[in-house]
Amino acid sequence: MNLTLKALSALLTYPTAEIQSVSGVIGTVLAADSLIPRRVRTDLQALVDDIGTGDLYDLQERYVLLFDRTRSLSLHLFEHVHGESRDRGQAMIDLKGQYEEAGLYMSAAELPDFLPLFLEYLATRPLKEACETLGQPAHIFAAIAERLRKRDSAYEAAFRALVALSTAKPKDAEVSALLQLPDPDANDLAALDAAWEDEPVNFGPGSGDGCKDGIVARVRGAMRPAPDMPQRPRS
């Protein structure tokens, strides 16, 4: 089991007293992983210390403003791939099925593309496979990291770490395409409403967006086990 991915999953989960109580363990795990550059590990420790010692109410409010109210920082991976298009439902079904093939079962309240849950799944996979899979949405991690950098948020370090662990590094063109999308301030309610408006769903020949469809294919492809990978037995 990859403890680093479990630690990053915990850091990106809604802050709770339980997470605060194990922040020391999280910090120890991340500090020991040489796959993450030293500078990023230092920044991760700052995030761990912040979560471990901060006022819980303030931490929770900050988390909601960043990741729940701001679409461009959403922790649901498919939100960055195809928003509310009809493809998202099938992508969710495919990913949920892959979790179940690995013996992992979600609660009815969970969505399979939620990043902390996705990292929990990858933590059960062989390290090589996990790092290769992380490479598929690496451009999403890089774009979120850049947006968090502009907000001077300590959470940037978690996404820099995910990029560092990814076998395939993000392509500049894909990162730039994401960064060109609206990125409103969490306190600008009108801009947030506009960003969360449903995207039109187009049907028929020629209705697809080539760039977006290509990203969808890469992310969804990463959610399927490679043909030569043994299936994890059901628990």
Q: What is the pLDDT along the chain (235 residues), one digit of tens a residue?
A: 589 999 999 999 999 999 999 999 999 999 999 999 999 999 999 999 999 999 999 999 999 999 999 889 999 998 887 555 566 777 777 888 888 887 787 777 788 889 999 999 999 999 999 999 999 999 999 999 999 999 999 999 999 999 999 999 999 999 999 999 888 665 555 544 555 454 443 333 343 443 334 333 444 343 333 333 233 333 3
Q: Are 199 and 83 in contact (CB under 8 A)?
A: yes
Total Cβ atoms within 10 A of residue 109: 5
227 located within any domain: no
155 located within any domain: yes
Q: Which residue is it, tokens 């802050």?
A: 15
Q: Which residue is it, tokens 């290509």?
A: 214
Name the residue among 171, 119, 188, 178 with its Cα closest to residue 146: 178
> Which tokens in the block code for residue 34?
């040489």
235 located within any domain: no
Residue 206 DSSP SS3:
coil
Q: Are 75 and 116 in contact (CB under 8 A)?
A: yes
184 located within any domain: yes
94 located within any domain: yes
233 located within any domain: no
The domain of 12 spans 3-200+209-222
Counting the structural domains of the chain, the total is 1
- What's the start-to-end Cα distance of the chain, in Å? 15
Q: Are 198 and 84 in contact (CB under 8 A)?
A: yes
